[in-house]
Each structure stands twice: as C-alpha cells, then as structure tokens.
Structure 1
C-alpha cells in the first residue's frame, strides 16, 4: 500500500462521532467554494471592502480555471476511495477527479487574496478555516495528501495572480483616467 493511503488510513483511526460531524460540517463550507463566494459577494457589496472583493473574485475565477478546468482533467487522478474500495464514506462520492483538491485550492486562493489585498485582520482566521477544510478532505478519505498539497499551491498561486491582475487593471484604468496612454 502506498504511503498516501497509509496516511489516509491513519486519519481513519481518529474518527469519532463528534469529529465525524465536525469534519463533514467543515468540508461543506468548501463545497463549490460556497463560503468563499459568499464572503466575496459580501465584500463586493461593502464599499470599503470592494477592492478586496474584486481581488478575491479574480483569485477564485483563476483558481476555478487552473484547478477544475485544467488540472483535474489533465491529471485525471482517481479518488482514494476508488482505490481502497472498502472505505465507507461519510460524504457522497464525487464525480470529478482527485488532483488537486478544489476545496483546498479555493480556500487558499481566498486566503492568499486576503493576504495580498492587505487584510491583516481577516487573512489569519481565514487561514485557520482553510487549513481545517484541507484536513477535512483527508479525514473524509476523498483526497490524497498530495491532492491537498497541490490545492494549497494552486490556491496561493491563484490568489497572487488575482491580486496582480487587479493591480495591473487598476494601474491601467488610473493612467487612462489621468489622460495617459
């Protein structure tokens, strides 16, 4: 058995009814990036937070394209529960591929966007939630550790690219507004 399945099997030794309920609840926050999308929309609606909302929106869109459109289909890695078929899941089986973890990537794209946007008070609690979501994916046996690690890396890259894209567009519009170009 490979090391990644051994790590997932170790997570299975931690299962308790309370932890099962907690991890299934935490992972739901990452379903389709819903928590991060709602947070982004809220920021877009608050004038003082609008720029942060735009950076998060850009990061989540870039993440969606990199993670779900490109990499999942390119790598086409099957889920660990399809390899170790004796596992009884606490969540519904997923229909997409395993690498990278989309829950983790969207979470870390949001955290990175908050960090790069300068949200000193928000990025740290968001990081705690992102880490919990990432661990929940291992606990629930729906991703390999390298899927989660890949999600972290892709998410951080998407967060940075979202920030840079908004900065470039902001600079371009500023120059246009001031009569340049």
Structure 2
C-alpha cells in the first residue's frame, strides 16, 4: 500500500514524464496487437537518410555503460553523491536484469535480420554498426535508457521541461535500436517497462530509508 501511494505521489510530481509514458504504453499495446512482428522494422528501415544514419548511430550510445559512468562522474564532480549513486544503480539494475532475461529466460530469441532472413529483404545497414542476430528480448539499451532518464527526471527540480526532454531521449534510444536493426518493437517496449520499474524501485527504496 505504501508503494502505491509512493507511485501516485511520484507520478503527480512528474506529470509530464509519466503522461508521455502512459501514452507510449497505450499506443505500444496497439502496435503489439495490430502489427505483425517484424513489419515495424521493415517499415522503419525504408526511411533512411544520411542524417538519420548519423543521428541514430550515436543517440543509441545513450543506453551504453560508458554514458552512465560519465553521467555519474559528472554528479560526483559536483558532490551530488546521492544522485550519482541513484543513476548508477538504476542503470546497473536494469542492465543486469535485461542481460539475465536475454541469456537465461529468452536465449533463443533471434534479432530482426535473423528472424526475417527467409524474406530476402534488401536491408539498409548503417555503416560502422555491427548488427547482431541473437538475444533479442528485451532491449538492454532501451531498459538502461529509460531507467537512467527516468531517474534524471525524478531528481530534477525542473519537472516540466525535464520530464519531456528526458522521456524523448529515452524514446529515441528505443527507436534507434529498431532503426539500427538490433531489435523489434516488442523488445524495446518491454525494455522500457523494465527500465521504468527498476528506476522507480531504486527511487522508492532511497526515499523510504530516510
């Protein structure tokens, strides 16, 4: 019961992020039930430009461990020790859980190019990006991005612009995973939920210990 009240209070204080998140989750349900798996990746792969190749190739790194380490070091440099720890724990917990699910619970889930190999699709590949073929579900980059950016929104004093800005960054990381042919939408959708749950639990326990 205490956790439910915590969720309500947190959502009301961070209305912009959670409004966008709820919209994303509802629209995502529609996509999952109305679009055949793989069709969303095929459709998205048609819309490639030099700019989008460059943009998504680098925006996807916001879900990498190096970005989280640099972000944590940034807060440490300004003696924001608790914030640095919250960000690191959010990233680490979501990343570890995603990898455990990939390798233990869903070890045989093929990625888009492997799953759709029999269709002989003329894929557009982004130069310099290694496209993987296995361990598709869930998307680790999306999980860590949503965990990290939700935590940033939670600790920010500027709730309005921070909520919108950080949600968009997390969303773009998820989109980049499909654009780069690394994941299906279902992978990024559940990766996002995993990241959100991890960040909320870390934030909850950090506040309940006061």
**TM-score per shorter chain, which class?**
0.7 to 0.9
Q: Which residue of 2 aligns with 1:111?
A: 149
Alpha-carbon distance change, 122 to 41 in structure 1, aligned in 2, over 3 angstroms: farther
Alpha-carbon distance change, 124 to 46 in structure 1, aligned in 2, over 3 angstroms: farther
TM-score, normalisation: structure 1: 0.81
Q: Which residue of 2 aligns with 1:29?
A: 62
Q: Deviations over 1:142-162 (max 9, x none)?
A: 101000001110010111112
Aligned-CA RMSD value: 2.1
2:87 corresponds to 1:56:
yes
- Is there any run of 5+ residues in structure 2 with no aligned partner, and where? 1-34
Measure the CA separation in 2 of the matches of 1:37 and 1:126: 17
Range 32-41 or range 118-127, more displaced: 118-127
- Once the two structures are TM-superposed, the CA of residue 132 in structure 1 deviates from its matched residue by 1.1
Measure the CA separation in 2 of the matches of 1:29 and 1:41: 15
Measure the CA separation in 1 of the matches of 2:185 and 2:38: 9
- Is there any run of 5+ residues in structure 1 with no aligned partner, and where? 172-181
- Once the two structures are TM-superposed, the CA of residue 101 in structure 1 deviates from its matched residue by 0.7
2:102 corresponds to 1:66:
no
TM-score, normalisation: structure 2: 0.71
- Once the two structures are TM-superposed, the CA of residue 123 in structure 1 deviates from its matched residue by 4.5
- Once the two structures are TM-superposed, the CA of residue 109 in structure 1 deviates from its matched residue by 0.3
Measure the CA separation in 2 of the matches of 1:126 and 1:115: 6
Range 96-105 or range 80-89, more displaced: 80-89
- Once the two structures are TM-superposed, the CA of residue 52 in structure 1 deviates from its matched residue by 1.7
